[in-house]
């Protein structure tokens, strides 16, 4: 591999980050408030719920399944938290939310992995049922969270805002789980080829099941973090959250067909989308162009990724005559 | 060869022994969703007796039509293992573009040509966005999900913005009668919308079942590598699928717009999950290579039927959500049980 | 009257306003011996049209409707006319047409203008320059547009005092509102004048202002002059605690009464005016005590407190 | 090896296993025994039920009837996982690796070693053990390489390494040598012998009967889903096995051709170069000629074929088919000019596994059945596909409703051949055309090749079986590292010379030695 090639590969690998940088520079040149530490902190805090959601979704996508019910899980567990756990200390509230959402994820997992229902349909069904139950317990009215929970938004750990701590913890655990444990590697195997994985002796069903449990639990976590931020939820809470989560995950390079991607990408995708939205507000852009600009940025990011992986594939192919490439 | 003869003879014998079973299988495989529709209707009669009236079935039929047209396009795209999230934006943008051309208050065109020209423009919008989707996927190596997510946000946003230049409110009204008649007139007793949808369904069925393009679509969906090595123009095939999907969405937009007599930029914003849901419930696979028009027809019927009964029930939103979710799950469960125990499909 | 049915078709239950409106209508109708059928269209005019047809097929005796689009509802009105079923629009008027229906409307633009004007005067009295932000609703929703325009009218009369530095689209989505306002406060830490197009965003506004360390009652130098709209219970609480300066109130009870009366009149063959106006009002720190009885949020709050 | 010194009970016994798919019975009571430390050869025609029997042993399918016992215990695995736990290791005919994972991850995917108590993978140990296993199968690759970047043969070696790690009681090898060249095959035999001496029982499935005779103490012959006989190697010979398999004897394996190559050139390749893949490759194939390409694993044979067919881009050089130059080769353009290409990767590039036989066959030439604008004449297609299926002796005639994935491996290969025959190619590039097919079928393929050539077609034959190349070709080219290193006329065919040419140094090494 000669040095020119190596530089090309490095550049290509860094392409998404370069694009990110370009976006920062454009917004930065339009508003001097944009490029500040405080604003970046803001971006990460705001991206936190979607990032957590996307990390959970990544597990499901890696097994070539999909989870449309995450928004409903957020809404339902949010209602439980706001309506029934107003008085308890927040760590207990969080535990209950996590357990409840993991159970909801387990329902999805059981429907998909053990009963063999296509995940799109299964989670579409649970989406409706989940939202329906949430509406009925809240009577479709707003659910307000007590000060104990909303004040968490302003809490910090060693000076780091709580939402960032939450994302960081979730990210590290998820990354270690996927990259450093047998379960994680088996998730990739199952996602690549379910039949082959079964033949190889992997408990494919159980693995898929647990991915849904993880997605459910992280949906609850995301809901908790966003509850601390927005203070109250209404009947539209979490609507279409599944699309934001899938978008962030896929933007970060995870394939809808399984076996490819990772949580780093999910985090990156969520941050990129949030950065664009943040930049537009900061430069006080015309509200009508918001969706146009964000969509444009997503499009460019995906296009760059597509071209990049195409070229990387070509450059990194093994050759029979390696000395000619060197 | 000995083996083949023996095997096929045995197969014949077994087939003969259980002809009734084969018949049951046949019905269950292709017409399960239809059977479920019948079953569901029967179950619902005590709760909403109106379901047994002609008027309600006319409503069901007319409600099905535009949704069916969009779903036809989605079926094609799912067959090639793609997905088209942009259909909703196409419906919205085509609606306001068409309306802005033909509206009698300050439209671009007037006179008898306004409506046909507007409809052509609407189809063009669909084809154009489909082309953009297709090119991005084939030339830029982008995943269909992301491409169409980006285009749906972009063109959905554009539709809202576009409207502000043509109307002081949020929609465009005063469409010519010729256009509106698509929504409320009949040809020989059959509503025009039904004629359009049935024609579209027949054409798409024809393409999928009897043409070279149809076979290419399935082949690309099953395995694009093999298709490419076998000389199939994979890129053109993918491109065609997205253009067709775009144009069918635009055609649906014509029907929706005519029915509401208004071009609105949020038309169709909410139907995405219904569209994909109906197609997948019908039996088309999200992983490509599998799908049929008739399945989609049944899937759409199933969803519209549920929706209609729930509307007639007039129950509160959460009851409706829970029932709808449960019915979808129950149908899916039946589907897998029969796959498991009868070994069909 | 018994044995009669009425359909209540809303386009969504996205805020307390609609939830309360739906509840008040249902309670009132039941009190008068009607059975109530519900339908929520989820901002899909096409679906709502289908709902209207389904209700016609069920032969209801009247339809109270909240459409999303003023023009797209006209075919539904025509269908109701053909079936001879009275139709009343609740809170959102349809566009002009030959079809007959009655609309109960609040004067959004005026109410918003009046409320914001009060806040503008407060600002002017306080002296100095003010940086304003507005949380705009869904750009496809006429009420959101009217409220924005009312705000615009008011502040433009005070252009020497007030400069609008942030227009935040929320799409009626609380996450977006929270993020948008936080970002705006980031870009313009000196924002000290705020209008929200709906009170349902109050929790997010509270959160964002607290984070920016700008949540302070009237009189505190950090106070942000805050104008609400709708007249939610939470809005009343904030008025009482002196965090909110003014709020545009739609008179929900009055609107409900107008709507139901209109339906009954139409059933009796009368033809009420096509538009019945709820003038609404702006509740301000100045007139709070005398006006609060008309504020639905206050009434609900009182009910909740009493049990 | 003390194979005659038997233990007192068989390691594995299989009694009267039956199995049907969709109402069609494919196994009619298969019975055999496997003793510790022996290798049992399992042979039979394509579709005779070898893989199905093994899939039942390996827990992939459950039998409809019959019983199995493993080391005296009743054995009825419900899943491959259970089978694996019971001590059965299985190398499937269709390789079962995950291209998105590295070699080492593939090796340990079912039982990653964990680091003392904590649930994390002990990467250091994994790396070390992976190196050992790869060394054992003589595969010199870094364990971190993605399996997706490996050649077929290399993948097969990874599978073998994986099975070695499993430390099983019974090792099932379902056609493990199809992508291996002689050297690796010898290596595999050494491994098998070592395992036997450790008391492992081995079931060895192959269509290379000489190999079976070489490593197996006993041979079981399957026909039509039933065992027709089991006997000791000493009492058998290859022709006897063949006649048991097919019910008749097969004589000359390479049928004679009645025609000689013609004058006109069917395929002319000049100066074909692609950096890193091929260097200045030039040769001609005349109409009516078979040219074989011989080389070691990874020598670039398949790569060369792909370049010619337009599957990979070329930097310079020209390709002419029957006198017309291919300007920008793509599969479509090449096919239009008269080329056909049977790829070695049947599963991913050769077949639509989820499509029917007809759909697979028709795919290459749908235009031929065009009726009206863009429509396909389904009837004509079905008829023609049926004829082709018979021509290649496919085991089933239900071509419309049998999916490719439900065919046995060899029959799948026949479908791929049939789909290219549909185009009546002028030049047919065959990459490992007889991989995984039985002797009878092989002879059938040879006949097909001959017929094609006799009708004026040209064949470019790539095969790892040197006998096959020598038996069929008019001329043999050797290749190493993407360069042609030798050319032999039929009269001068010599095994040793060809092998030597295939190993001739090229590239910088050659310059260094020169
Ligand atoms: N999953 C399946 N569904 C339906 N039929 C199957 C399935 N698996 C195998 N068969 C059928 O069972 C028969 C036996 O196939 P099997 O794969 O066992 O043959 P084989 O002896 O391994 O042949 P080969 O030498 O070609 O690999 C074939 O006729 C095949 O079509
Ligand atoms: N130095 C190498 N040694 C072994 N394999 C290599 C080497 N370089 C590349 N390869 C791999 O081998 C393949 C190229 O070998 P190719 O398949 O063309 O050779 P072949 O002689 O046809 O081998 P096979 O026996 O696998 O068909 C490529 O897929 C490549 O990944
Ligand atoms: Mg086999
Ligand atoms: Mg090869």
**C282 pLDDT band (50/70/90 cuts)?**
very high
Using CA atoms, how far apart are residues B99 and C243, in angstroms rounded to an integer? 46
Interatomic CA distance for residues C113 and C122, integer angstroms: 14
Is D402 touching ligand 1 by the criterion CB < 6 Å? no
Beta-carbon separation of A310 and B141 below 8 A: yes
Contact B260 C54 (CB under 8 A): no
**Of B100-114, B198-212, C57-71, C274-288, where does mean pLDDT reach its minimum?**
B100-114
**Token pair in block for residue C301:** 């709050």
Q: Report helix angle C174-187 to A263-282, nearest 10.
A: 60
pLDDT at D69 over 50: yes
pLDDT for the residue numbered B344: 43
DSSP D326: P
Token output for D109: 């995917």
Ligand 1: does its nearest atom lie under 6 Å from the Cβ of D49? Answer: yes
Query: How many angstroms separate the Cα of D279 from the Cα of each of A313, D150, D463?
Result: 21, 21, 21
Task: Give whichever of C151-165, D139-153, D224-238 has the largest mean pLDDT.
Answer: C151-165
* Secondary structure (3-state) at B282: helix
Q: What is the ipTM of this complex?
A: 0.89
| Range A145-171 average pLDDT | 91
For residues D6 and D37, give the distance between their C-alpha atoms in angstroms, rounded to a whole number. Answer: 8
| Ligand 2, atom 3: closest residue by C-alpha | D298
D403 interfacial to chain B (CB closer than 8 Å):
no
Cα Rg of chain C (Å, integer): 20
Q: How far is C175 from chain B (nearest CA, A)?
A: 18
Half-sphere exposure of B112 (CA within 13 A, CB side): 0
Q: How far is the CA of D148 from the centre of ligand 3 (A)?
A: 23
Q: Where are the beta strands (DSSP E) in D78-180?
A: 88-91, 170-174
What is the structure's pLDDT at C49? 94
Pairwise CA distance, residues D243 & D239, whole Å: 6
Question: How far away, in angstroms, is A201 Cα from ligand 4 center?
Answer: 29
pLDDT band at A124, cuts 50/70/90?
very high
D14 vs D4: CA distance, rounded Å: 21
Instruction: Pick A140's closest partner by Cβ from C19, C165, C173.
Output: C19
Least reliable range by pLDDT among A105-114, A211-220, A281-290, D163-172: A281-290
**pLDDT confidence tier of residue C82, bands split at 50, 70 and 90:** very high
pLDDT (0 to 100) of residue B18: 62
Q: What is the 3-state secondary structure (H, E, C) of D230-277?
A: EEEHHHCCHHHHHHHHHCCCCCCCCCCCCCCCCCCEEEEEEEEEECCC
Q: CA angle, corner D418, sides to D417 and D419, nearest 5?
A: 95
**Three-class SS state of D319:** strand
DSSP helix/strand/coil, D282: strand
Task: Please list, residue by residue across A151-167, b when 16 or more beta carbons sit within 10 angstroms of its beta carbon and e when fewer do.
Answer: ebbeeeeeeebbbbbbb
CA distance to partner chain A, nearest, from residue B260 (Å):
24
Ligand 1 pocket, D408 CB below 6 A?
A: yes
* Distance, CA of C260 to CA of C257 (rounded, Å): 5
Position B14 confidence tier, pLDDT thresholds 50, 70, 90:
low
Among D93, D225, D395, D408, which is best to mutate for testing ligand 1, by the most ligand atoms less than 8 A from CB?
A: D408
The C-alpha angle C159, C160, C161, rounded to 5 degrees, equals: 90
**Whether A281 and C168 lie within 8 Å, measured CB to CB:** yes
For residue D372, what is the nearest residue in chain B, using CA coordinates? B211
Strands D265-274 and D316-321, bridge-based pairing: antiparallel
Question: How many beta carbons lie within 10 A of that of residue C219, not counting itself?
Answer: 7
Confidence of residue B10 (pLDDT cuts 50, 70, 90): low
Q: Determine the residue among D56, D57, D100 to mutate to test chain A binding: the one whose Cβ has the most chain A Cβ atoms within 10 Å.
A: D100
Q: Which of C203, D102, D381, C103 is nearest to A226 (CA)?
A: C203
Q: Residue A2 above 60 pLDDT?
A: no
pLDDT of residue C9: 95
- The protein residue with its alpha carbon nearest to ligand 1, atom 5, reads D406
What count of other Cβ atoms lies within 10 Å of the Cβ of residue C128? Answer: 8
Q: Is A318 in the pocket of ligand 2 (CB under 6 A)?
A: yes
Q: Which two structure tokens, joined as six digits, stand for A156?
A: 């910090």
Kindly list the protein residues that place their beta carbon closer than 5 angstroms to ligand 3, a single-atom ion: D 51, 93, 408-409
Is the pLDDT score of B7 beyond 60?
Answer: no
Counting as contact any 3 or more CB pairs under 8 A, the partners of B are A, C, D
Domains and CATH numbers, chain B: 32-342 (1.10.3470)
Architecture of domain D264-338+426-514: 3-Layer(aba) Sandwich (3.40)
Of the residues B235, B318, B322, the best mutation for testing chain A's interface (the one with the most A CB atoms within 10 Å of its CB) is: B318
Report the mean per-residue pLDDT for chain C.
91
The DSSP code for A114 is I
The number of CA neighbours under 13 Å toward the Cβ of A86 is 11
B270: chain C residues, CB-CB within 8 Å: 42-44, 47
Token pair, residue C56, equals 């016609």
Tell me if A287 and C136 make a contact (CB, 8 A cut-off). Answer: yes
**pLDDT at D1 (0 to 100):** 41
Centre of ligand 1 from the C-alpha of residue D252, in Å: 28
pLDDT for residue D422 is more than 80: yes
Q: How confident is the model over B120-156, as pLDDT tens digits?
A: 999 999 999 999 999 999 999 899 988 999 999 999 9
**Ligand 1 pocket residue status of D395, Cβ below 6 Å:** yes
Q: Which of B87, B92, B90 is nearest to B73 (CA)?
A: B87
Which atom of ligand 1 has the smallest separation from the CA of D410? Answer: 26
**DSSP labels, C270-305:** ----SEEEE--EEEETTTHHHHGGG-HHHHHHHHHH
pLDDT band at B9 (very low <50, low <70, confident <90, very high): low
What are the tens digits of pLDDT across the range D466-494?
889 999 999 999 999 899 999 999 988 89
CB contact under 8 A, C19 and A154: no
To test ligand 1's pocket by mutation, which of D52, D53, D90, D351 has the most ligand atoms within 8 angstroms of CB?
A: D52
State the pLDDT at residue A312. Answer: 79
Chain D contact for B80, CB < 8 A?
no
For residues D344 and D152, the answer to whether their CB atoms sit within 8 Å is yes
For the Cβ of D52 lying below 6 angstroms from any atom of ligand 1, the answer is yes
Question: CB contact, 8 Å: A260 with chain D?
Answer: yes
Q: How confident is the model at residue A215 (pLDDT cuts 50, 70, 90)?
A: very high
Report residues near ion ligand 4: CB below 5 Å.
D 302, 344
Residue bearing tokens 């990544």: A58
The model's pLDDT over C100-142, given as tens digits with 9 standing for 90+, comes to 999 998 889 999 999 999 999 999 998 889 999 999 987 767 7
Distance CA B200, CA B187 (A): 16
Contact status, residue D441 vs residue D393, Cβ threshold 8 Å:
yes
pLDDT, greater one: A109 or D116: A109
| Span of A47-51, A288-292, A312-316, B284-288 with lowest mean pLDDT | A312-316
Tell me if chain D has a CB within 8 Å of the CB of A319: yes
Closest CA to D450 of D295, D293, D294, D261: D261
Beta strands in A130-225 (DSSP E): 143-144, 156-157, 160-161
Report helix, strand or coil for A131.
Answer: helix
Predicted confidence (pLDDT) at residue D3 exceeds the cutoff of 50? no
pLDDT at B342: 57
Q: Mean of the pLDDT values across residues C228-246?
A: 94
Q: Residue D419: pLDDT above 50? A: yes
- Mean pLDDT score of chain A, rounded to an integer? 90
Which backbone phi and psi does C131 adopt, to 5 degrees? Answer: -105, 125
Highest mean pLDDT among B86-90, D182-186, D380-384, D385-389: B86-90
Superfamily per CATH, domain D12-246: P-loop containing nucleotide triphosphate hydrolases (3.40.50.300)
Residues 158-187 of B with CB under 8 A from A: 158, 160-161, 164
User: Atom 28 (ligand 1): residue with closest C-alpha?
Assistant: D47
Is the C-beta atom of D440 inside 6 A of ligand 1?
no
Equal CATH topology for D12-246 and D264-338+426-514: yes
Give C253 or A314, the one with higher predicted confidence.
Answer: C253
Which has the higher per-residue pLDDT, D150 or A68? Answer: A68
Least confident of A54-58, A175-179, B197-201, B318-322: B318-322
Domains in chain D: boundaries: 12-246, 264-338+426-514, 351-424
CA-proximal residue: ligand 2, atom 10 (nearest): D298
Is pLDDT above 80 for C232? yes
């Amino acid at each position: 591999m000669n040095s020119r090639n190596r530089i090309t590969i490095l550049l290509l690998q860094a392409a998404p980050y370069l694009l990110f940088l370009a976006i920062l520079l454009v917004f930065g040149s339009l508003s001097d408030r944009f490029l500040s530490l405080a604003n970046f902190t803001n971006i990460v805090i705001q991206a936190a719920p979607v990032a957590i959601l996307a990390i959970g979704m990544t597990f499901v996508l890696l097994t070539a399944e999909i989870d449309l019910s995450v928004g409903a899980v957020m809404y339902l567990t949010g209602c439980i938290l706001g309506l029934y756990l107003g008085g308890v200390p927040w760590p207990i509230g969080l535990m209950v939310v996590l357990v409840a959402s993991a159970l909801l994820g387990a329902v999805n997992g059981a429907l998909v992995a053990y009963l063999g229902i296509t995940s799109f349909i299964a989670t579409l069904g649970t989406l409706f049922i989940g939202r329906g139950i949430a509406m009925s317990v809240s009577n479709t009215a707003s659910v307000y969270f007590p000060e104990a929970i909303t004040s968490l938004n302003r809490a910090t750990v060693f000076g780091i805002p709580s939402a960032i701590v939450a994302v960081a913890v979730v990210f590290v655990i998820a990354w270690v789980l996927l990259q450093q444990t047998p379960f994680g590697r088996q998730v990739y195997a199952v996602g690549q080829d379910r039949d082959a994985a079964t033949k190889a002796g992997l408990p494919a069903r159980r693995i898929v099941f647990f991915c849904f449990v993880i997605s459910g639990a992280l949906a609850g976590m995301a809901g908790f973090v966003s509850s601390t931020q927005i203070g109250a939820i209404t009947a539209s809470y979490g609507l279409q959250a599944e699309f934001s989560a899938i978008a962030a995950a896929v933007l970060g390079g995870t394939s809808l067909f399984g076996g490819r991607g990772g949580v780093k990408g999910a985090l990156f995708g969520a941050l990129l989308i949030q950065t664009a939205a943040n930049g537009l507000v900061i430069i006080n852009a015309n509200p009508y162009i918001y969706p146009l600009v964000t969509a444009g940025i997503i499009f460019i990011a995906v296009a760059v990724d597509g071209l990049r992986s195409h070229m990387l594939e070509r450059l990194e192919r093994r050759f029979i005559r390696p000395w000619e490439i060197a | 060869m000995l083996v083949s003869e023996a095997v096929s003879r045995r197969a014949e014998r077994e087939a003969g022994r259980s002809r009734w079973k084969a018949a049951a299988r046949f019905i269950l495989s292709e017409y399960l969703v239809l059977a479920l529709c019948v079953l569901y209707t029967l179950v619902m009669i005590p709760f909403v007796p109106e379901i047994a009236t002609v008027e309600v079935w006319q409503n069901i039929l007319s409600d099905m039509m535009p949704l069916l047209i969009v779903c036809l396009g989605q079926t094609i795209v799912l067959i090639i293992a793609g997905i088209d999230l942009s259909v909703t934006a196409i419906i919205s943008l085509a609606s306001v573009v068409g309306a802005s051309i033909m509206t009698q208050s300050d439209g671009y065109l007037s006179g008898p040509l306004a409506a046909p020209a507007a409809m052509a423009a609407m189809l063009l919008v669909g084809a154009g966005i489909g082309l953009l989707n297709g090119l991005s996927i084939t030339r830029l190596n982008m995943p269909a999900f992301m491409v169409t997510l980006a285009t749906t946000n972009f063109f959905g946003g554009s539709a809202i913005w576009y409207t502000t230049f043509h109307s002081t409110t949020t929609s465009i009204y005063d469409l010519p009668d010729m256009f509106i008649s698509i929504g409320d007139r009949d040809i020989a007793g059959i509503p025009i919308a039904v004629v359009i949808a049935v024609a579209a369904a027949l054409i798409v069925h024809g393409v999928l079942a009897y043409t070279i393009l149809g076979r290419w679509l399935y082949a690309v969906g099953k395995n694009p590598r093999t298709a490419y090595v076998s000389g199939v123009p994979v890129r053109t095939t993918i491109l065609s699928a997205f253009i067709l999907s775009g144009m069918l969405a635009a055609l649906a937009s014509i029907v929706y717009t005519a029915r509401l007599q208004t071009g609105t930029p949020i038309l169709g914003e909410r139907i995405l999950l219904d569209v994909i849901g109906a197609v997948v419930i019908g039996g088309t696979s999200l992983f490509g290579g599998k799908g049929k028009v008739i399945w989609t027809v049944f899937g759409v019927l199933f969803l519209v039927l549920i929706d209609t009964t729930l509307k007639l029930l007039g129950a509160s939103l959460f009851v409706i959500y829970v029932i709808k979710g449960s019915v979808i799950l129950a149908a899916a469960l039946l589907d897998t049980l029969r796959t498991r125990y009868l070994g069909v499909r | 009257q018994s044995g009669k049915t009425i359909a209540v078709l809303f386009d969504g239950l996205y805020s307390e306003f609609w939830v309360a409106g739906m509840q008040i209508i249902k309670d009132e109708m039941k009190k008068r011996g009607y059975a109530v059928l519900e339908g929520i269209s989820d901002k899909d005019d096409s679906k709502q049209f289908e709902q209207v047809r389904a209700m016609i097929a069920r032969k209801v005796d009247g339809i109270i409707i909240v459409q999303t689009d003023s023009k797209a509802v006209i075919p539904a009105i025509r269908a109701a006319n053909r079936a001879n079923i009275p139709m009343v629009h609740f809170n959102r008027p349809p566009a002009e047409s030959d079809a007959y229906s009655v609309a109960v409307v609040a004067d959004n633009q005026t109410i918003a203008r009046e409320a914001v004007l009060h806040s503008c005067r407060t600002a002017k009295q306080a002296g100095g320059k003010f940086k304003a932000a507005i949380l705009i609703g869904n750009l496809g929703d006429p009420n959101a547009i009217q409220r924005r325009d009312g705000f615009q009218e008011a502040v433009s009369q005070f252009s020497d005092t007030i400069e609008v530095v942030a227009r935040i689209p929320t799409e009626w989505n609380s996450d977006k509102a929270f993020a948008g306002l936080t970002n705006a406060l980031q870009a313009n830490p000196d924002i000290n004048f705020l209008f929200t197009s709906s009170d349902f965003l109050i929790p997010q506004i509270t959160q964002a202002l607290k984070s920016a360390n700008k949540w302070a009652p009237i009189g505190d130098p950090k106070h942000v002059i805050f104008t609400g709209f709708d007249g939610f219970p939470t809005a009343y609480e904030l008025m009482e605690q002196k965090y909110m300066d003014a709020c545009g109130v739609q008179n929900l009870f009055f609107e409900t009464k107008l709507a139901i009366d209109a339906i009954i009149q139409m059933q009796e063959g009368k033809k009420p005016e096509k538009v019945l106006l709820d003038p609404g009002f702006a509740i301000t720190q100045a007139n709070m005590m005398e006006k609060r009885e008309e504020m639905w949020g206050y009434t609900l709050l009182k009910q909740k407190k009493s049990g | 090896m003390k194979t005659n010194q038997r233990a007192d009970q068989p390691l594995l016994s299989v009694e009267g296993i039956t199995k049907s798919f969709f109402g069609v019975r494919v196994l009619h009571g298969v019975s055999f025994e496997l003793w510790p430390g022996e290798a049992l050869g399992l042979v039979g025609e394509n579709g005779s039920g070898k893989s199905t029997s093994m899939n039942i042993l390996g827990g992939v399918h459950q039998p409809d009837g019959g019983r199995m016992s493993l080391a005296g215990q009743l054995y009825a695995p419900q899943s491959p996982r259970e089978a694996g736990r019971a001590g059965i290791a299985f190398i499937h005919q269709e390789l079962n690796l995950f291209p998105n994972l590295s070699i080492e991850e593939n090796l340990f995917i079912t039982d990653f070693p964990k680091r003392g108590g904590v649930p994390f993978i002990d990467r250091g140990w994994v790396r070390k053990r992976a190196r050992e296993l790869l060394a054992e199968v003589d595969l010199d690759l870094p364990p971190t390489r993605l399996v997706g970047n490996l050649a077929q043969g290399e993948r097969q070696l990874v599978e073998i390494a994986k099975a070695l790690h499993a430390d099983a009681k019974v090792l099932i090898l379902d056609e493990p040598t199809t992508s291996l060249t002689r050297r690796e095959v010898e290596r595999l035999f050494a491994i098998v012998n070592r395992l036997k001496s450790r008391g492992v029982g081995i079931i060895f499935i192959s269509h290379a009967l000489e190999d079976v005779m070489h490593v197996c103490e006993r041979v079981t012959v399957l026909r039509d889903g039933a065992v027709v006989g089991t006997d000791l190697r000493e009492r058998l010979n290859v022709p006897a096995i063949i006649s048991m398999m097919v019910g008749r004897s097969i004589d000359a394996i390479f049928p004679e051709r009645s025609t000689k190559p013609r004058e006109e050139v069917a395929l002319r390749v000049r100066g074909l170069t692609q950096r890193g893949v091929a260097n200045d490759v030039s040769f001609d194939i005349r109409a009516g000629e078979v040219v074989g390409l011989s080389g070691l694993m990874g020598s670039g044979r398949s790569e060369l074929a792909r370049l010619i067919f337009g599957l990979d881009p070329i930097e310079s050089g020209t390709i002419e088919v029957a006198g017309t130059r291919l300007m920008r080769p793509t599969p479509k353009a090449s096919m239009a000019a008269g080329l056909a290409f049977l790829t070695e990767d049947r599963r991913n590039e050769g077949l639509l596994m989820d499509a029917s036989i007809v759909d697979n066959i028709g795919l290459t030439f749908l235009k031929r059945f065009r009726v009206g604008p863009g429509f396909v004449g389904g009837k004509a297609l079905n008829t023609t596909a049926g004829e082709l299926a018979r021509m290649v002796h496919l085991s089933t005639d239900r071509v419309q409703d049998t999916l490719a994935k439900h065919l046995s491996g060899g029959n799948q290969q026949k479908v791929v051949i049939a789909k290219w025959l549909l185009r009546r190619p002028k030049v047919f590039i065959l990459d490992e055309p007889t991989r995984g097919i039985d002797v009878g079928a092989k002879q059938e393929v040879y006949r097909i090749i001959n017929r094609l050539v006799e009708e004026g077609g040209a064949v470019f034959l790539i095969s790892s079986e040197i006998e096959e190349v020598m038996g069929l070709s008019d001329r043999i080219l050797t290749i190493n590292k993407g360069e042609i290193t030798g050319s032999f006329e039929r009269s001068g065919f010599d095994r040793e010379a060809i092998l030597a040419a295939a190993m001739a140094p090229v590239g910088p090494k050659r310059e260094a030695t020169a």
